[in-house]
Chain A
Amino acid sequence: AQKITQTQPGMFVQEKEAVTLDCTYDTSDQSYGLFWYKQPSSGEMIFLIYQGSYDEQNATEGRYSLNFQKARKSANLVISASQLGDSAMYFCAMREGTGRRALTFGSGTRLQVQP
C-alpha cells in the first residue's frame, strides 16, 4: 500500500485565489510527522510546513496552512492568495515513528498559477 497518496497530478489556480492540494497517508504508528515541500524547476526541495501527529492545532506558516484530519488520515495543504511564484511541484511526505527515520514522499502535484 502507498504510504503517501497525492491524487492530483496537476492543478491550476488563478492568481490571488486559494488552492488546496490533497494528501492522504497510511501508517500504524501513533507518532509521526507530516511535511510539505515545494520543488521549483531548479530542483531544490523547499520546506513549507510541518504537522506532528499529536499536534491539536492545524499548522500555519504565512500563506500556507495544513488541514489535518487525523481520523481520515489526510493532511491537505492550503495555499491562500496564490502568487505566480507558487508554480512548482508540491510533495507531501511523512516520517513515521520516533528516532532517526527517513521521509516517505508522495508522487507530487504540479501547481500552475495563472495570471
Chain B
Amino acid sequence: ETGVTQSPTHLIKTRGQQVTLRCSSQSGHNTVSWYQQALGQGPQFIFQYYREEENGRGNFPPRFSGLQFPNYSSELNVNALELDDSALYLCASSFRGLTNEKLFFGSGTQLSVL
C-alpha cells in the first residue's frame, strides 16, 4: 500500500455535469499530481501542486482545475463533462517531486461520462 487514497472509486456522470475527485496524499508528502488514463493508454499528466500552488500543467483545458489543502490533500474538479473525459484518474504524491523521486499512486477513480 502506498498510503495514497482516492475517493470515490467509481463515478458515473452525464455530459455537461461537474465532478470533484478527492485524494489524500501519503503522510509527509507536499507534492501531489493528477493523471488521466484513458482505456488502453498510459497516464497523461494533468497538473501538479506543491505547497498549495499549481506547479505545472499538462495539455488539458481550463475546465480541469484543482486544489491542494494545507494538509496536502487535493481535489480535481472537472466542469462541463464530455464523453472523452471517461477515464481512470490517478492521484500521485511525493515528498518534493524532484527528478529522482518516485511517485506514490492511489488506486484511482474510474469516471464514466454518459
Q: Is the CB of B107 within 8 A of A42?
A: yes
In the complex, which residue of chain B has the Cβ closest to the Cβ of A29?
B99
The answer to whether residues A100 and B98 also contact, given A45-B90, A91-B42, A105-B43 and a CB cut-off of 8 A, is yes
Report A30 CB to chain B, min CB distance, Å.
11
Report the bound CA distance from A18 to B33 in whole Å: 33
Q: Is the CB of A103 within 8 A of B106?
A: no
Q: Is the CB of A102 within 8 A of B98?
A: no
Of the listed stretches A31-39, A62-70, A72-80, chain B binds A31-39
Report the bound CA distance from A108 to B50 in whole Å: 28
Q: Please tell me the size bucket of the interface on B.
A: 20 to 34
| A window 95-110: CB within 8 A of B | 95, 97-108
A85 CB-CB contact with B under 8 Å:
no
Report the bound CA distance from A46 to B45 in whole Å: 17
Report the bound CA distance from A44 to B109 in whole Å: 10
Report B99 CB to chain A, min CB distance, Å.
5
A residues within 8 A CB of B41?
A: 107-108
B66 CB-CB contact with A under 8 Å:
no
Report B24 CB to chain A, min CB distance, Å.
14
Q: Is the CB of B99 within 8 A of A103?
A: no
B26 CB-CB contact with A under 8 Å:
no
B residues within 8 A CB of A46?
A: 105
Q: Is the CB of A47 within 8 A of B58?
A: no
Selected from A4, A99, A106, the residue in CB contact (under 8 A) with B98 is A99
Q: Is the CB of A101 within 8 A of B43?
A: no
Report the bound CA distance from A52 to B100 in whole Å: 7
Report the bound CA distance from A65 to B2 in whole Å: 22
In the complex, which residue of chain A has the Cβ closest to the Cβ of B31?
A100
A-B contact pairs, 27 of them (CB 8 A): A32-B99, A33-B99, A37-B105, A43-B88, A43-B90, A43-B107, A44-B106, A44-B107, A45-B90, A45-B92, A50-B100, A52-B99, A52-B100, A91-B43, A98-B98, A98-B99, A99-B98, A99-B99, A100-B97, A100-B98, A101-B99, A102-B33, A102-B48, A105-B43, A107-B41, A107-B42, A108-B41
Q: 8 closest pairs, A vs B, by CB?
A: A105-B42, A45-B105, A102-B45, A100-B97, A44-B107, A43-B108, A47-B102, A33-B99
